[in-house]
Homo-oligomer: A and B are copies of this chain.
Amino acid sequence: MPNSKPSAKSPAKPAAEAEDRTRDRSRTEEGILNAARSVLVEKGFGGWGVNGIARAAGCDKQLIYRYYGGLDGLAEALGTQIARETEAALAALPAPEVDSYGALVAALIDAQLHVLRSHPVMQRIIAWELSEANALTRAFADARSRALMAWFAQVKGDFTAPPGVDAPAINAVMIAAVQQMVLSSGTIGGFAGMPLAEPADWERLRSAIRRLILAAYDGSGTPTAG
């Protein structure tokens, strides 16, 4: 079938850009979702809107309403996608080989630091949660909190916290510190005079966190010889 649709439109676009003009809803949806992520990373949640996302996706914003039901639906889809992939990221982490509850928690907090550092979208979402309290951010926070606790419960196995120690509170404090540090490194480049840019900075942070956790749980903060 010779492409004889428009008589004179044979090689109008010589495909130099490989522009795929075929219509494909699933691909468009994927493009919108990817655009939503990149806009969130680059502009922050303040610049996260239908106009900018459609612009980044290279399509009309009407499609956002048609396929996702507007900004809320798109945010919900983004949230479930994030939840899925973080769940997978946590599940893919090697089970830490430890011999104490404190060492276990230290490994888990360290894993959190690693995952969050490599996930700019989640950093933006956390900043969003800290800035606005609406149904969307609450849903985000709830999902994250539940995933976190489920993962914790699943991976801790037979280990139990020493008696007399409020493990949930201490763990929450340390995760809070990790989040604040990662977020602050992204915007300010450090925190309270402590730089967070070079790998050595992060190693320093990791050892401080490790010392805090081990001391709180196991009683003596003997740093891992080194």
A binding-site residues for B, Cβ under 8 Å = 44-46, 127-133, 137-138, 141, 145, 148-149, 164-166, 168-177, 179-181, 183-184, 186-188, 191-194, 204-205, 207-209, 211-212, 215-216, 219-221, 223
Partner of A132, one of B46, B176, B192, B212: B46
Q: List 16 A-B contacts (CB under 8 A).
A: A46-B46, A130-B130, A130-B180, A137-B187, A141-B188, A148-B193, A166-B204, A169-B205, A170-B208, A173-B177, A173-B205, A173-B208, A176-B192, A215-B216, A215-B221, A216-B216
Which of B127, B180, B194 is the one whose CB lies under 8 Å from A177? B180
Most chain-B Cβ atoms within 10 A of its Cβ — which of A145, A186, A207? A145
Residues of B within 8 A of A166 (CB): 204, 207-208, 211
Which residues of chain B come closer than 8 Å to A169, judged between CB atoms?
Answer: 194, 204-205, 207-208
Q: Do the beta carbons of A191 and B172 come within 8 Å of each other? A: yes
Residue of B131, B175, B191, B205 near A45 (CB, 8 A) is B131
Tell me if B215 and A194 are in contact (CB < 8 A). no
Docked-complex contact B172 and A193, CB < 8 angstroms: yes
Q: Which residue of B lies closest to A148 (CB)?
A: B192
Nearest CB in chain B: distance from A200 CB, A = 12
Measured CB to CB, the nearest residue on chain B to A204 is B169
Could you tell me if A176 and B175 are in contact, using CB atoms closer than 8 angstroms?
A: no
Cα(A128)–Cα(B138), bound, Å: 18
A sample of 8 more A-B contacts (CB under 8 A), given A44-B132, A133-B188, A212-B215, is A130-B187, A131-B131, A141-B184, A149-B192, A175-B192, A176-B176, A215-B221, A216-B216
Complex Cα–Cα for A206 and B128 (A): 26
**Which residues on the B side are within 8 Å of A191 (C-beta)?**
145, 172, 175-176
Q: A166-B207, A177-B176, A212-B212 are in contact. Are A187 and B132 (CB under 8 A)?
A: yes
